[in-house]
Amino acid sequence: MTIIYALIIFCLLIFVHELGHFIVAKACGVKVNEFAIGMGPAIFSKQKGETKYSIRIFPIGGYCAMEGEDEDSEEPRALNNQPAWQRACILAAGSVMNFITCVVLLIIIAFWMGTATTTIDQVTEGSPAERAGIVSGDTIVSIDGQEISEWDDLIQSIGYSKEKTAEITVERDGRQETLTAELEYDKEAGRNMIGITPTMEHSVGKSITGGIKNTGSMTVMMYQVLKQLFTGEVSVKELSGPVGIVYATSEAAKSGIMYVIYLAALLSLNLAIINMLPFPALDGGRLLFLVIRIFTGKRVSDETEGKIHFIGICLLFALMIYVTFNDVIRFIIPIF
């Protein structure tokens, strides 16, 4: 199942990425020679019009081969002969699709898991909440006079309070009642706990909001990690490649399908962000050359740019070999 999950994730994310390039390229009238999923020899191919569609034997990677992408072409519909804004849209489309995929997957997770409300579902037996008189069905209105509108507000007010007790106002059977609960610090959670769990609401609107919000938080986190990587706070040895992703998929699968979907969302956003870095061969590197050539004209030829991107691909493959070697040492060798 781990291998199946990993292959599904790999194929889905690459397919979505390349589909973004393909859709926008076709919309802009650019000639697409081949749309392929996977790498290596083709196990299936079909020519439809000017484009060949193929599935290749190794389910890692894929490509949308456009005319004039890495070479000079006299074809009027070649990528290199299109206006700069169209080329920019085509290059950015892959990462945009991966970003959208992340949002959609997180919305699905948010709807499946539900959104925590301020209404109490369960009260742990013998907990501070039970001793204070809080019962299932109570709705938290305020804590220490501060209005509570979301479950996160409750976590902040109770979880990180410096006080030993909290005045909790609840609504019960249409009337409000203020109760005093002791706060107990939970070392494992790293915050105060009183022993209550919320009821979960499965709302489409709140799930969409939650998915977008979680994508934003995840994006900020990834950029912080990239910053730490460039400043040396995070070692390159901590990067993972395909082997590490398969291992992470295995660990996620043990916890359930929702964790696998969350991992897919994380990897999709990772693919979107990494591809937009201004490095040769990546979409961000191609966008950088596009900007450079707006100001320099044809002084940087398509052939020269193609050679630089080829060097970039070689460097990326070297990095992949390095991180795969580290992954084998970290995840495979300890098993034996």
CA–CA dist 36, 18 (Å, integer): 8
CA–CA dist 294, 246 (Å, integer): 41
Identify the active-site residue in 18, 67, 69, 305: 18
The pair phi, psi for residue 252, each rounded to 5°, is: -65, -40
CA 177 vs. chain centroid, Å, equals 43
Name the token pair of 317. Answer: 């493959």
CA–CA dist 289, 266 (Å, integer): 28
DSSP labels, 35-71 = EEEEEEEEEEEEEETTEEEEEEEEEEEEEEEETTSSS
3-state secondary structure of 161: coil
Q: What is the DSSP letter of 163?
A: S
Active site residue 18: yes
Could you tell me where the beta strands, DSSP code E, fall in the chain?
32-48, 51-66, 115-123, 139-143, 146-147, 165-172, 175-182, 184-186, 191-193, 196-201
The 10 Å Cβ neighbour count of residue 45 is 12
Hey, what long-range contacts does 252-260 have (CB within 8 A, 24 or more apart)? 252/5, 253/1, 253/2, 253/5, 258/109, 258/112, 258/113, 260/5, 260/9
CA–CA dist 275, 102 (Å, integer): 15
Q: Catalytic residue positions? A: 18
